[in-house]
Amino acid sequence: MHVPQFLSRYPALSIIFLFILHTSLTWPGILSPDSETQYNMALQGVYSDHHPALMSFVWRYLNMICKGPGLMLGLHLGLLYASVYFFIRALSPAPYHFAFLFLPLIPHILVYSFMIWKDVGFAFSFLCIASYLTYCAVQEKKLSLTACFPLSILLIYGTAIKFQAQYCAPLLIFWMIYERTKAHFSWQKYLLCGLGSAIIFYSLLSGINNFLVQEKAQNHSWQYVKLYDLAALSVATQIPLFPESSKTEKFSMEKLKTTFNHARVDDLVFGHDALLVMGKNEQERGILWWTWAHQVSAHPLYYIKHRLSNLAYAAFSTPEYENILSFFSTTIQLQEPYASIIARTIGYLFFAHILPILLCFIYCGIGIFNLSKTPLARPLFFLNSIAVVYLTILLFFSMAGTPRYTYVVVCIVSTSHILAYHFMRRKPGTKKHS
């Protein structure tokens, strides 16, 4: 039996094999300092709102089964390979439907797949939900009540572990409602069910967070974003724009100018040499918020420039660049500048997020303009709308520029390549999948 025939006939076995292989090769995953903090919270059973409490809560019980990060790695990779399975079923029996098997091997996805990060859990959770809804849309099946329950649980998990995800969740909620009601669709019923479901969803989300995070463990981490923005405006205007309660004894404009960068806020607020500090009480936090609002409205161009510069670090960074450069310099023995040029080119093509970021807008547009023509457009629209909304929120509510923040976008766009190819092969106006 040829490999394509085997993959087509036994997709589940192929996916299970690849999942076991992927998990074995990357076990038990890699922890960053943030991940280690989350793991310590899981061990202690004490959670804060600076890191996703629900992820640490789940991790605590996974750790009781197998100590360490391994089962969390397995959980997230399991969501990725479940996505592969449902995307394959969505495009079946198209001859290229098994191309989704290679989704986890795409460099943009593979490079971070073994990291125990909230960004990875969020990306794979949303991708898994979208894969099942894609299956329902393309195969023109009604979303069952039985499937709604696990999808809702997964949506709560994926949303709770990433701050910006709460702004994207409504798109999946309304998509689920549509796949549930499409046989007897009406705008009034659709909007009413969607709004009702959203209210219930956010009430549950808030209740879970309030239950897990006690008041004394609330960090009010939103202040870091405000301090970061005020630092950028202060450097741009050459005037310290902070409330006095936000400055440490180490603060000076000279130190601020040399320490500030558009990549992250960490250098300003962490460590014994921190220049800025969060408000210690409700009054100080209120003063910080109103100071931020006033200064942003007074210097909108500086603010937008700073925000775009921050997002640019995530878009144009090239993970693995140093390893690629080392490979060409030592193994291939290429001399400079050829090694650097080739390494940078490969980095931009296969690891930087700028191309996927641009493509998500294009795919979203294709979906919008073809929604009434074919159900194939629905996954393109909803998937890439999530990416567009996420990028918009990230632009204004982020305190660092790192590719892991835009990981969900590259996962969505990598999936959309195959969906868009399938869409382009269809005759315009046709409804039935073949």
Whole-angstrom distance, CA of residue 24 vs CA of residue 30: 13
Helix axes 53-65, 70-91, angle to 10 degrees: 110
What backbone torsions phi and psi does residue 268 show, to the nearest 5 degrees? -95, -25
Q: What is the pLDDT of residue 215?
A: 55
Count, residues in the chain:
434
Q: What is the pLDDT of residue 1?
A: 43
Q: What is the pLDDT of residue 285?
A: 92
**Whether the bond into 28 is cis, omega within 30 of 0:** yes
Q: Which amino acid is at 256?
A: L
Whole-angstrom distance, CA of residue 336 vs CA of residue 362: 36
Whole-angstrom distance, CA of residue 140 vs CA of residue 414: 23
Show the tokens assigned to 327: 């490979």
List, for the chain, all residue ranges whose pLDDT scores fall below the cut of 70. Answer: 1-9, 215-218, 426-434
Q: What is the pLDDT of residue 433?
A: 45
Whole-angstrom distance, CA of residue 280 vs CA of residue 245: 9
**In the chain, what percentage of residues exceed pLDDT 70?**
95
Largest CA distance in the chain: 73
Whole-prediction pTM value? 0.91
